[in-house]
Amino acid sequence: MGFWAALGFLTILPTPRRAGGGKFARSLVYFPVVGLLIGLLLWGVDLLLRMALPLPLESALLIAVLAVLTGGLHLDGFMDTCDGLGGRDPEHRLAIMKDSRVGAFGVVGALVLLLVKYGALVSLAPPLRAVALVLMPVMGRWSMVLGIVGYPYARAEGLGTAFAGTGRWRQFGLATALAAAMAHFATHWAGLSTWTGLATLSGVALVAWCAATFLKRKLTGLTGDSYGALGELSEVVGLILVLLWQRWTG
């Protein structure tokens, strides 16, 4: 099933053996669903840790749990992308991104990313904290679908070729509908306006589109690392937008 392929690709959670091969081409619609599962797990961990730990330490551990659940894959892609952008031309940038070593740009980029995530989580109060924890992975995984479907793959072979197939735009539409429904119900549960969730997703979509377009110009297309970078960036933007809703409605 496409769901198991998406779960196996996006997380370290166990999946049936049949979740490989050509199933990736049909898994895109399930990316937001996997994001919701990750978000619910984060929310559950948050409820448990809150009973014993101070908020700053708990928030740091939640970020660590998220990195562990994803195997650090998306964070690694973000760091490689930051390193690659320092190259002199598309070929040089792609070669840098393929190198397993992490450079200064990658380290600094990851540090800033994690600090912003931490600062946003510490600043959020219930019930918006729960909304942010649930929606952050949803929007991050949805933005990956945008990058996979909406932009060419920069390499002749690699991760992006696994998602080749027909009906990708239909899957993108279904994935968008699922992400929008999740955003709507999560913010409605928190007592916010019925349009708040859709506005948050729209803000994330705008930033993801700008970032993906920028990366395409720099690399002539996107790569697996680019998908991870889009996911990490979208998570941060989603957190910031929820935090803004808190300040505007508080």
- Pair 2, 27: CB distance under 8 Å: yes
| pTM: predicted TM-score of the whole model, two decimal places | 0.93
- Pair 135, 238: CB distance under 8 Å: yes
What pLDDT digit, counting tens, does each position of 75-110 carry?
999 999 999 999 989 999 999 998 888 889 999 999
Domain residue ranges of the chain, discontinuous segments joined by +: 2-249
What pLDDT digit, counting tens, does each position of 10-69 carry?
999 988 865 544 567 678 999 999 999 999 999 999 999 999 999 999 999 999 999 999
Q: Distance between CA atoms of 215 and 231, rounded to whole angstroms?
A: 13
